Structure 1
Amino acid sequence: MVGGVRAALGLSLTCVSALSLLSPAWFQTPAFSFGILTYCSWPPGDSRNQSCSAFRSLDDIPGFAWKVSVVLLLGGWLLLGCSAALLLSWALAPKGLCPRSGTGPMPGIQAASAAITIAGLLVFPAALASPFAKEACGVSSVQHGGRCRLGWGYGTAMLNAVLTSLLPLIGCPPKTKAQGRPVVFSSDTQRIIIVPEMSK
C-alpha cells in the first residue's frame, strides 16, 4: 500500500515537473515569455494569438548558465521519473517476485533528484544576463529581471522541487529504541525466559 502511494506521488511529481519544464512562463513581459526550453511572443493586448518556439538542441540555448540549468533540470527530472517507474513496478509486481520490505535505493535517488533540480533552479536566474534575456527583458542581470517578472512555470518548478525533497520521507517509519528487558519465548518447553539486560 505504501509503495503504491509513493509510486503515485512520484509519478504525479514527474508529470508536474515535465509540465513546468515545457512551460514558456518562467519569465514574462506584457508581450513575451520564456522558459527553460520554450518561448512565446504575442501582439500587445492579444495574449491568445501566441507564437511559440522551442530550443531544439543545447547549442540553440543562449548562455552558458542557461545550458547548465537545462542539463541539471533535465537530469533531476530523469532521476525522478526513473525512481517513480521503479516504485510503480515494485508496487504492481506479484508478491513473491519482489521483496516488499524496504524501498532500496529509491529515497537516495529521490533526494539526489531534488538536490539536482534545486541546483538547476538556482542557476537559471543567471540566464537573465544572456543576450536573449536582455533583448526580451530590457536591462536585466542576475539580480534584476528588468521588465520581466516571474511566471507560474518557475514557481511550479520550485514547489515541485520542495515536494520532491519531502518524498523520501514518506513511508519511512521513525526508528525507536525499545526500552526494558527482552522476553524470549521457548517453544520446546512452553516457558517464558527472561533475559537479563546487558549493560553497554
Structure 2
Amino acid sequence: MVGSVWAALGLSLACTSALSLLSPAWFHVSTFSFGVFTYCSRAPGAGWNQSCATFQALYQIPDAAWKVSAALLLGGWLLLAFNAVLLLAWALAPKGLCPRRRSSGPVPGVQAAAAASTIAGLLVFPVSLASPFAQEVCGPSSIYSAGQCQLGWGYVTAILNAVLASLLLMIGRPRAAQAQGTAVLFSSDRERIILMPEMSK
C-alpha cells in the first residue's frame, strides 16, 4: 500500500514536471509567451489562435544561462522520471523480491538529485531575462527583472514541483537510526555480568 502511494506520487510529480517544462507560459506579454523549450506568438486581436515553436536542440536556445537552466531542468526531470519508474517497479515487485523499507522508495538519492537539479535550474533561468531574446519580448528586462513580462503558470508549476519533490524527500527520509540498547544478562555465577547489544527484531 505504501509503495503504491509513493509510486503514484512519483508518477504525478514526473508528469506535472514534464507539463511545466513543455509549457510556453513561463513569462508572457499579451502577444508572446516563452518557456524553457517552447515559445508562442499571436497577432493582436487573434484570440486564442497562436503559433508555437520549440527549441529542437540546445544550441538553438538563445542564451548561455538559458542553456544551463534548460540542461539542469531537463536533467532534473529525467531523474524524476527514473525515480518514478523505480518506485513503480518497487511497488509492483513481489514482496520477497525486494525488501520493503520505510523510506521514500528504493533509491531516495535519485529524488534528492532531481530536486537539487530542478531548484538549480529554476534559480538560473531568470538570469536569461537579460538575453536579447527576452529583452525583445519583455522590453527593458534584466537579471531577475521581467520588464513588461508577467510570470506565467508554467514557472509557478515548476516551482511547486520542486517544493513537492523536496517535501516528499523529507517526509520519506528514513528515521534516524535508533540507538541500540544494551541488554544486561546475569549469569548463574553471581560474580559476572554480561553486557550484550540488543538484537533487532
Q: CA deviation at 1:177?
A: 4.5
Q: How does 1:10-49 map to 2 (within 5 A)?
A: 10-49=10-49
Look up the match of 2:127.
126
2:169 partner letter: P
Q: Are the equivalent residues in 2 in contact too, given 1:70–1:120 (CA < 8 A)?
A: yes
Deviations 1:59-115 (A, max 9, x none): 110010000000000000111111110111011011222222355762211111111
Does 86-95 or 45-54 show the bigger shift?
Answer: 45-54
2:111 & 2:134 partners in 1: Cα distance?
A: 32
How many residues align? The count is: 189
Deviations 1:155-188 (A, max 9, x none): 000000000011223344644747987588xxxx
Q: TM-score, normalised by structure 2?
A: 0.85
Residue by residue over 1:28-48, the C-alpha shift from the partner in whole angstroms, topping out at 9 and shown as x without a partner, is 001100000000011223341
CA RMSD of aligned residues (A): 2.4
Judged with a 3 Å threshold, the aligned counterparts in structure 2 of structure 1 residues 157 and 96 are, in CA distance, closer, same or farther, namely same
Q: Could you say what secondary structure the match of 2:44 adopts?
A: coil
TM-score normalised by L of structure 1: 0.85
* Greater Cα offset, 32-41 or 136-145: 136-145
Q: Identical aligned pairs, as a percentage?
A: 65
Aligned counterpart, 2:82 = 82
Contact kept? 1:107, 1:169, Cα under 8 Å: no
Cα distance in 1, alignment partners of residues 179 and 124 from structure 2: 46
- Report the CA distance shift for 1:172/1:122 in structure 2 as closer, same or farther (over 3 A): closer
The SS at the match of 2:3 is helix
CA distance 1:32–1:107, shift in 2 (3 Å)? same
1:168 equivalent in structure 2: 169
Q: Which runs of 5+ in 1 are unaligned?
A: 185-194
Shift of 1:196: 7.0
Structure 2 gap ranges (5+): 186-193
Give the alignment of 1:144-183 within 5 angstroms.
144-172=145-173, 174-175=175-176, 177=178, 182=183
Q: Which moved more, 1:154-163 or 1:130-139?
A: 130-139
C-alpha displacement of 1:55: 0.5
Question: What is the rounded CA distance, in whole Å, between the counterparts of 1:105 and 1:44 in structure 2?
Answer: 51
In structure 2, distance between residues paired with 1:115 and 1:173: 19
Q: Does the aligned pair in 2 maintain the 1:2–1:171 contact within 8 Å? A: no
1:113 maps onto 2:114 in alignment: yes
Please tell me the residue identity of whatever aligns with 1:113.
A
For 1:180 and 1:122, how far apart are their aligned partners in 2?
45
C-alpha displacement of 1:6? 1.0
Q: Which residue pairs with 1:70 in the alignment?
A: 70
| CA–CA distance in structure 1, aligned partners of residues 37 and 110 of structure 2 | 24
* Superposed CA offset, 1:101-135 (max 9, x none): 35576221111111110000000001111111111
Letter in 2 for 1:122: L
Residue number in structure 1 paired with 2:189: none
